[in-house]
Amino acid sequence: MSKIDLLSLTLEDTQMLIEEMGEKKFRGKQIFQWVNKGVKDIDDMSNIGKSSREKLKEKFYITDIKIEEKLTSKIDGTVKYLFLLEDHNIIEGVVMEYNHGLTACISTQVGCAMGCSFCASTVGGLIRNLRAGEILDQIVVMQEDLGKRISNIVLMGSGEPLHNYQEVIDFLKIVNNEHGLNIGNRHITLSTCGLVPEIKKLADLQIPINLAISLHAPNDAIRREMMPIAQKYSISEMKDACLYYLEKNNRRITFEYALVDGVNDSKDNAYELSGLLKGLLCHVNLIPVNTIEERDYKQSKKEEIKKFQAILKSRGIETTIRREMGSDINAACGQLRNTYIKNKK
């Protein structure tokens, strides 16, 4: 029988499994607190007796991801990590410093199956899903390494969070728990390329996190060129899912829009996008596309980005341009991992 990862368990599941072993329920909370504090060895749980620890060790283990490489930007202090998983896979995460504290951008899968044409994470396809504990341990390890609390989380590293639905939901429950890292739902953003049924499922859970949708195009024709998922779900179906989400959660949705020179950055594109989003409780985040080695997309010119933003604003759509962070350390998702894998070979 393979062992169960304690760090992947919600408080309720921990309590249930511990009670099943004949232990008292409050032991479950103690164990949950230890693993979320970063304890990696069951023997270090000092308020648990030796015989109980021996029993625990037979059934459980604790995820323990390691920092394989760490790069710190000289420009803005952004820190990029390559993490080594127990099965020797590599994932990456980033910590950025904003006025309101540290924001961690973490991965939900090793690689990605979505195939977006501008994205580095998807180049080698999907290797496997991360367990909730592996998603969480990125935060635990970053906090320990930096000696500072992470206050915000964005699920914008490698992987499609809604393609690893159950583990991501468990992660959200664990990270938000007051006996764990206790990071507020409002400080967590889940970014998705738009898996319509899962957006609706997430809406039904009514967890007040922020939802970000990778839209990147004002119409289906352009979106299909950039994102294979657009073959499966139309923008109109996705918009319906967003309306359903808003009905259930009433929290402003963010639309991410990576501007690619000559592909989706014309004035007409901006007008079409304004029409699409009109009346929706939302915000557009314009991202100058990061050029990656494997693709020949170019960033839109600064003036074009400004013009694009001005059109959206003139139509009453709130828009920001994403600041580039860590440009000297290859901070865009997937790039560092790809370079690492190439060099290893």
Nearest to 130 by CA among 99, 163, 152: 163
Is 116 catalytic? The answer is: no
Q: Is 343 exposed, middle or buried (0-12, 13-18, 19+ CB in 10 A)?
A: exposed
- For 37, residues 6+ apart whose C-beta sits below 8 A from its C-beta are none
Alpha helices in the chain (DSSP H): 11-20, 25-37, 50-59, 132-146, 165-176, 196-205, 220-226, 229-232, 235-249, 267-277, 302-314, 335-344
| Nearest distance, CB of residue 111 and ligand SAH, angstroms | 11
Q: What sign for the dihedral angle of Cα 241, 246, 249, 254?
A: positive
The one catalytic residue among 92, 134, 160, 256: 92
6/199 with CB nearer ligand SAH:
199
9/193 with CB nearer ligand SAH:
193
Q: How many other CB atoms are found less than 10 A from the CB of residue 293?
A: 12
48/242 with CB nearer ligand SAH:
242
Is 23 catalytic? The answer is: no
| Nearest distance, CB of residue 38 and ligand SAH, angstroms | 26
Report whether 138 contacts 107 (CB < 8 A): yes
Which residues lie near ligand SAH (CB under 6 A)? 114, 116, 118-119, 156, 160, 191-193, 214, 256, 258, 287, 289-290, 292, 332-333
Kindly list the distances between the CA atom of residue 45 and the CA atoms of 25, 49, 59, 108, 111, in Å, as whole numbers in the listed order.
16, 9, 16, 28, 34
| Nearest distance, CB of residue 321 and ligand SAH, angstroms | 12
32/83 with CB nearer ligand SAH:
83
Identity of residue 11? L
The one catalytic residue among 112, 116, 119, 333: 333
| Nearest distance, CB of residue 212 and ligand SAH, angstroms | 6
52/129 with CB nearer ligand SAH:
129
Q: Measured at the alpha carbon of residue 188, what is the angle toward residues 192 and 104, in degrees to the nearest 5?
A: 90
| Nearest distance, CB of residue 106 and ligand SAH, angstroms | 10
Give the residue numbers annotated as catalytic, written as ranges. 92, 333
